[in-house]
Amino acid sequence: MNKRFSLLLVLVLPFLWGIGPWDRLPGGVLNGTAVSVAVEDWSFVSQARHCEVETRPEYPHSVTVNCWHVQGQLYIGCMNCDGKVWSNYLSQGKAVRVRIGQRIFPVSMERVIDDEEMARSWQARWKKTGRAGPVPEWPGHYWLYRVSSR
């Protein structure tokens, strides 16, 4: 085997075996420490660069997503979400897990449609990503999910 092929195998095999996502590449089951206590204040998510969402527990599919909180309420956003695999799985079932750092939380996710909540959350997301103001309006293809412990 040549070196390029060997490197490709090293990078791809973990995903084929069902290990969680890596950057923009989707994965399978999330590994980490399961947390069974309900979370009321998600403000610790500020310390995480990203979160990972696992849908469809019978054949897990996981992705890396942006996550942040507004006054302790956890939110996850999705650009160009219509037609994405994970959002489709999410609409089919409520059994979702989120990994923040090395901890995995069982959660439910509900799509936000209220304009005021969207605006507050979009502003918080804008700040977390370190972008300068003014904050533009959220794009029409953007979906927002409110996350709660289950």
Walk along the chain (150 residues) in steps of 10 and give the mean pLDDT of each run. Answer: 57 54 85 96 94 94 95 96 92 90 96 96 87 83 95
- Which CATH number does the domain housing residue 27 bear? 2.30.110.10
Q: How many angstroms separate the CA atoms of 124 and 83, rounded?
A: 25
Q: What is the pTM of this model?
A: 0.84
Q: Quick one: which of 24, 103, 100, 33 has its CA closest to 64?
A: 24
Give me 31's structure tokens.
């590994």
Domain count, the chain: 1
- Per-residue model confidence as pLDDT tens digits over 122-139: 999 888 887 777 878 898
- Per-residue model confidence as pLDDT tens digits over 1-24: 566 655 554 555 444 445 677 777
